[in-house]
Amino acid sequence: MEERDLYADLGVAKGASADEIRKAYRKLARQYHPDVNPNDAKAEERFKQISFAYDVLSDEEKRKRYDEFGMAGLAPGFDAEQARAYRRWAEGARRSPFSERFATDVDVEDLLSELFGADRARRAQGADLEAELEVDLLDAVRGEEVRIGVGGSSLRVRIPPGSEDGARIRLAGQGRPGPAGGPAGDLYLRLRVRPHPFYARRGDDLHLDLPVTVPEAVLGAKIEVPTPDGPVTMTVPPRSRNGQVLRVRSKGVPRRGGGRGDLLVRLVVELPDPDDPRLEEVARQLEPLYRGKRVRGHLEGRS
């Protein structure tokens, strides 16, 4: 796995507190998020680096492994106890006057052949491994290719489009190597899908809160809406209400049998700058429009 300084990725010191790490991530995530930088490959890659660094450094156990072992400690199937034991053995072997002789005189394959027989030693398969792989929501929805470290090398893994949190991906022959050159076991990756700052997944549909102005809601407008495939233009009907949900068809999650869910856009009507002195005068002009209208009638009888 490529060695990186995750603290530098977030712009914090190694001894940064959890609160400092969280604040740094939020600031950078807003700056480099793909929805804010459409069609900017560099910004998208930077956002992934930021998200990965935050995922590790905000998790106490992962942060300890990273601080002790570096990026190698984050590889799928990494065993901290085995790594410590090997480190102790290696340090002892370097100090031992018999280390060179031991390394040249003992043949592991010969030893296994004596114990189990040559044919069985050659056929013995390595153990399967299981690891957790964290991906962004949109990577899971779109079925992106991600890179992981396996056995000191880098491996590209294609996420099946529409994958859900908890889905399992099998990588044949990427598990623990078999003894005496036997075939390796398999590696099973269990997906953990990180929540998205804007989208929420419910079944095959994606949900998005979209801020609109009062004139856009009252008069109607054509506005740009972000989707997993890029921005599209959506029509806001005149006299739309706050909280009204509009449907953008086939911009949701791909279905296994074909087709896609929808993107459901909830309109969130935002007021102008509350510190603008003109807002008070506009509110007074609107007040007569509410007279006789039971704006809180739906709450009656619930107290």
Q: How far is CA 97 from CA 88, 90, 94, 100, in A?
A: 16, 13, 8, 7
The reported pLDDT for the residue numbered 204 is 95
DSSP state letters, 248-287: ETT-SPBPTTS-B--EEEEEEEE-S-TT-THHHHHHHHHH
Q: Which residues of the chain have pLDDT under 70?
A: 1-3, 76-79, 82-83, 85-123, 150-153, 180-181, 291-303
Could you give all domains of the chain from N- to C-terminal order, each with its CATH number? 199-291 (2.60.260.20)
Q: Rounded to whole angstroms, how far apart are CA atoms 168 and 177?
A: 21
235-269 residue pLDDT tens: 999 999 999 999 999 999 999 888 999 999 999 99
The reported pLDDT for the residue numbered 248 is 97
Locate 66 and state its tokens: 């990273």
Q: Rounded to whole angstroms, how far apart are CA atoms 233 and 223?
A: 6
The reported pLDDT for the residue numbered 122 is 46
The reported pLDDT for the residue numbered 17 is 94
66-85 residue pLDDT tens: 898 888 777 766 667 766 76
